[in-house]
């Protein structure tokens, strides 16, 4: 199986910043494509996602589960492209993705959720003092 492409869709500059940071940390370039919803209609956003997915296996990461980015990504995914959509994108999930792109999109989507959750940790001050 060829390597899965990752498409990161988010509000404002978030997708670009996440992709640039993941590339900087991992040293892996070109595995993730950022797409912003800035200054575009829902139809234009869907078209950008559709173009980014292209042929072959892909996984879409979005920032908010109920935002415009997720809505557009789910519409495009349902058109027959069948790219899984993972919400709550963060660096731990993107870093894991770039090193495991030989896996299938469904397995990568499940890993992304696990790694994203594992990366969210609360460090609470010691209240005994």
Six token digits for residue 19: 């992709």
Q: What does the pLDDT read at residue 2? A: 77
What's the chain's average pLDDT?
94
pLDDT reported for residue 54: 86
Residue 55 confidence (pLDDT): 87
Cβ contacts of residue 84 below 8 Å, gap of 6+? Answer: 59, 60, 77, 105, 106, 108, 109
Q: Are 96 and 115 in contact (CB under 8 A)?
A: yes
Query: What pLDDT does residue 126 have?
Result: 84
pLDDT of residue 101: 96
pTM of the model: 0.93
CATH architecture assignment, domain 5-118: 3-Layer(aba) Sandwich (3.40)
Query: For the chain, what are the domain ranges?
Result: 5-118
| pLDDT at residue 129 in the model | 56
Counting as low any pLDDT under 70, the low residues of the chain are 1, 128-129
pLDDT at site 81: 73
Distances (CA, A) of 47 to 75, 82, 116: 10, 15, 27
């Amino acid at each position: 199986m060829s390597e899965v492409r990752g498409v990161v869709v988010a509000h404002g500059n978030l997708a670009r910043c996440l992709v640039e940071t993941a590339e900087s940390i991992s040293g892996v370039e070109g595995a993730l494509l950022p797409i912003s919803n800035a200054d575009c209609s829902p139809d234009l956003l869907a078209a950008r996602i559709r173009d980014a997915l292209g042929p072959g296996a892909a996984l879409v990461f979005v920032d908010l589960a109920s935002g415009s980015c997720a809505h557009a990504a789910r519409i495009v995914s349902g058109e027959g492209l069948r790219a899984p959509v993972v919400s709550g994108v963060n660096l731990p999930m993107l870093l894991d993705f770039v090193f495991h792109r030989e896996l299938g999109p469904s397995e990568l989507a499940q890993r992304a959720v696990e790694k994203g959750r594992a990366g969210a940790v609360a460090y609470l001050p010691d209240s005994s003092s």
